Amino acid sequence: MNWLYLVGIILFLLGLMVSIALHEIGHLVPAKLFGVKVTQYMVGFGSTAWSRRRGETEYGIKWIPFGGYIRMIGMLPPRPGDDPNKLRNTATGPWQGLIESARDAAQEEVRPGDEDRVFYRKKWWQKIIIMSGGPLMNFVLAFVFFSILLVGIGLPAWAPVVSPETSTCVIPVTEQRKTCQAGDRPTPAAQAGLKPGDRMVTFDGHKITTWEDATRLIRSHGPGPVELGVVRDGKPLTLDVTLIAQDRPNLQDPNKIDKNVGFLGVLPTEVMQRQSMGEVVGYMGELTGRVAGSLLNLPDKMVGVWHAAFSGEKRDPEGPVGVVGAGRMGGEILASDLTNEKKIAIFVNLLAGFNLAIGMFNLIPLLPLDGGHIAGGIWEGIKRAYAKIMRRPEPKYVDIAKVLPLTYAIALVMMVMAGLLVYADLVNPLTLTG
């Protein structure tokens, strides 16, 4: 195995663990700020690799780096009318027994003096802030990573600079070859003396700033002589070029052919073009919409993952990918032949996209996700506002324990989905090349 591939996987897992740690800090800080007793802050699952107690909270790292949690006391309210000093009968119904067992487990952590430090007794808006802190931290991380990518590194863009891969002969669009053969005529660019590295700056007096500008001007001009302004080794030059007419692929639809358009015969150079902070917002907004669409279509996407895992079908590039698959992508990035700048850009983009997806997935209004607790807080706020307007007695706390059967069912589905993604990422991984 290429050692860079292994380093890429390790770096991605480290980035994932940092993201998880900050996600949980997003819950931890407001929880402590509002007086909720937090007994554990853990990054990872499984057995504990390292831990240290500070005050009332145990901070630690577990061996399986695929998640994390903080343990807040009193997540579930006691059953109405319960006397904590008396024993009561256990419910015999399977679902009711499950709910009561969960209530008992939640109450066992509450010690004398902790009555006002339990989660369920906090104001509804405090619950929303506590549970929103994790996803919000993921969004902040995504924005930071996207800012580093766009502003600090840049996005790949075609520049109007003659590429070293530019052919010196005219190759018909119907022929799938890149090398010249005997009888091929030279391109107008070769005849005019254009060289790799020349930057095109003007065309027939029109300014060129992007490759799209150059392509549009060349094609629309048609065959005939024209003055082309270039910069070579920092010095401006004017070249006399005679364009020819050629059939070329349509710019919007490569399957279509545009007949007899102007042809110069140069290829652009790919560069990393830095963007403004305003572009970061638009870029992240566009990806957020795409991730939201993927989440809405998640059942269909998972069917595609099933077929890819067990029928060998090609993975959907827009489909879900698990931690194992993303880690393999991290290894693939570092082991590739790309420039170091591109490797960093793709790696940062991968971490940013993963944080964005984690944040949005956690906002789904279903337990055990953060969004389920947020929905409970919102519902409690609506009930209290309605009671206040109608001058009715203040309602009791929203009892999320009542939806525990659905919560366990959803948790089971999530575990099955996670297992399916791991299997698909192992047997039919989604690679950077599709």
Q: Which residues are known to be catalytic?
A: 24
The rounded distance, in Å, linking the Cα atoms of 21 and 61 is 9
Tokens found for residue 12: 């991605």
**Alpha-carbon dihedral sign for residues 110, 112, 113, 116:** positive
> Are 158 and 54 contacting, i.e. CB atoms less than 8 angstroms apart?
no
Question: How many Cα neighbours within 13 Å face the side chain of 278?
Answer: 0
Which residues 6+ apart lie within 8 Å of 113 measured at CB? none
The rounded distance, in Å, linking the Cα atoms of 219 and 231 is 21
Prior bond of 368 cis (ω within 30°): yes
Spell 70-94 as b/e; 16+ CB within 10 A means b: bebbbbbbbeeeeeeeeeeeeeeee
The rounded distance, in Å, linking the Cα atoms of 353 and 287 is 8
The rounded distance, in Å, linking the Cα atoms of 102 and 91 is 12
